[in-house]
Amino acid sequence: MPIEKFNASASPLRYFVERLREMNSAGIWATFFINPAIALMDSYRHKPFPCTVMCENIVSDVLRDTNGEITVEFDWHAETFPECQRIFRTLQREAIVEYAAIAVAFLIVNNLAQRNITEVTLRGGKADYFLDGRKYLLEISGTENAEQLASRHAEKARQLRANPFKKNGYVFVCCFSNQKARFSFQHCMSA
């Protein structure tokens, strides 16, 4: 199956969800998030699924000559997950939203910030995502409530700045219902 390559000059940017397979080829664990992402975006009847990403403190060639806001389209091949809506019968929608947000976050972090998602660890019941070895942390959240986007991002940014590992990192929060996301770089307060 052909996988489209990233093209910074294209407008709007379009990322195929299946690219997660390439991003994490050694461990292939990122591929687990492909199906939930396809199912959720398909449930909104947008293909490709557009998303306006508001970036803050992100250094990227893609953001040159912009005010930090870009539109990204997420697409997928129909044969990747043909009966995708069936997943809602077996998995709670809330979990699907979180998994879809992780998929979208990985694509954005890899393409915009040029960081590699290298590891997942557990801290109690919480999963921590590390980038570029254990150099940076990534906090992710997904919602379908447009009113929660700003507050959820603020909360995740606060958590990242206070993280116990004293690492800087990125925060990505996506609201699927209004197709908006916030992506920021945060400095740890105690780093």
Partner 1 sequence: MDPTAQNQNAINDLAQRKSLLIIQAQFQQAFDQRDEATRLFLEAAILEEKMAVHFRQQEDTDDAAISLFSAASCYKNAGQLAKAIALAEEALPLSNSEIFVNEIRQFRDACKPALAPRTLRGVVRDGVVHPFESGVLSEGDLVTIMLA
150 or 188, CB closer to partner 1? Answer: 188
Q: Does 8 participate in binding partner 1 (rule CB under 8 A)?
A: no
CB 179 within 8 A of CB 52: yes
Q: Is 32 among the residues that bind partner 1 (CB under 8 A)?
A: yes
Q: Which is nearer to partner 1, 51 or 129 (CB)?
A: 129
Cross-strand bridge partners of residue 122: 127
Q: Which two tokens stand for residue 78?
A: 């129909």
Tokens of 23: 């991003």
Q: Which positions from 143 through 162 interact with partner 1, judged by CB under 8 A?
A: 162
Q: Which of 3, 8, 10, 28 binds partner 1 (CB under 8 A)?
A: 28
| Contact partners, residue 143, CB within 8 Å, separation at least 6 | 97, 101, 149, 152, 173, 174, 175, 176, 177
Q: Where are the alpha helices (DSSP H) in 24-134?
A: 34-43, 87-90, 93-112
d(CA 24, CA 97): 21
Other Cβ atoms within 10 Å of 153 Cβ, number: 24
Q: Which of 60, 119, 150, 161 binds partner 1 (CB under 8 A)?
A: 119
Number of residues binding to partner 1, judged by CB under 8 A: 26
Q: Which stretch binds partner 1 (CB under 8 A): 13-21, 56-64, 66-74, 86-94?
A: 86-94
Does position 164 interact with partner 1 (CB under 8 A)? The reply is yes
Q: Which residue has the tokens 């709670």?
A: 92
Contact 161, 188 (CB under 8 A): yes
Residue closer to partner 1 by CB (options 1, 122) is 122
Tell whether residue 190 is a contact of partner 1 (CB under 8 A). Answer: yes
Q: Among residues 8, 10, 59, 120, which is the contact residue for partner 1, using CB under 8 A? A: 120
Q: Does 118 bind partner 1 (CB under 8 A)?
A: yes
Q: Which residues bind partner 1 (CB under 8 A)?
A: 24, 26-29, 32, 90-92, 95, 118-125, 127, 134, 162-166, 190
